[in-house]
Amino acid sequence: MGKIPPQLPPPHLRDPGDAWVQGPDGTKYWGTFGAAGLLVYHPTAGILLQHRAEWSHHGGTWGIPGGAIRMGEDAVSGALREAHEEAGVPADLVTVIFTQVFDLEFWSYTTVVVETSEVFEPVMGDTESEALAWIAFSEVDSFPLHPGFAASWPGLRGRIEAHVEAHRGE
């Protein structure tokens, strides 16, 4: 086994990215290095949503799998890792369509939007989910959404629709 690079913590230690960041107004945000989530889209199945566990931040709402970015990790890698850990999303079946960043200067959240080539059965890999489900594109708004996802969904939906239209017939 090779030497662990100095910028990464040893595997047995908690990553320093797993911590709260407090904004100037006192609002807390998860992830010292920011956070990222994976919005998985399939043309017929819809959007993969996660029903967040009650104990989690904004528990009981629906959103996308994601979490804190690790030290030295980029947002796309972090979103893919978190989605695999929380929902069993197979990275080899997805293609990045675009990313969207919500930047507060002291903290940021990157939504990584991917299209999957196959409908797969999501698998809860930890206790952060109460359920995982493919939700029809037109029905996402009818769910009690995580506030951050609810705020970004209209813009994300529009960008996905534009992508679909631009690639129609390919």
Tens of pLDDT, residue by residue over 102-141, are: 999 999 999 999 999 999 999 988 888 889 999 999 999 9
- pLDDT tens, 146-162? 999 999 999 999 999 99
Write down the pTM of the prediction. Answer: 0.88
How far CA 100 is from CA of 16, 55, 61, 85, 136, in Å, comes to 24, 27, 21, 21, 21
Is the domain covering 31-165 a CATH 3.40.190.10 domain?
no
> pLDDT of 11-58, one tens digit each?
545 788 888 999 999 999 989 999 999 999 999 999 999 998 888 878
What are the residue ranges spanned by the domains of the chain? 31-165
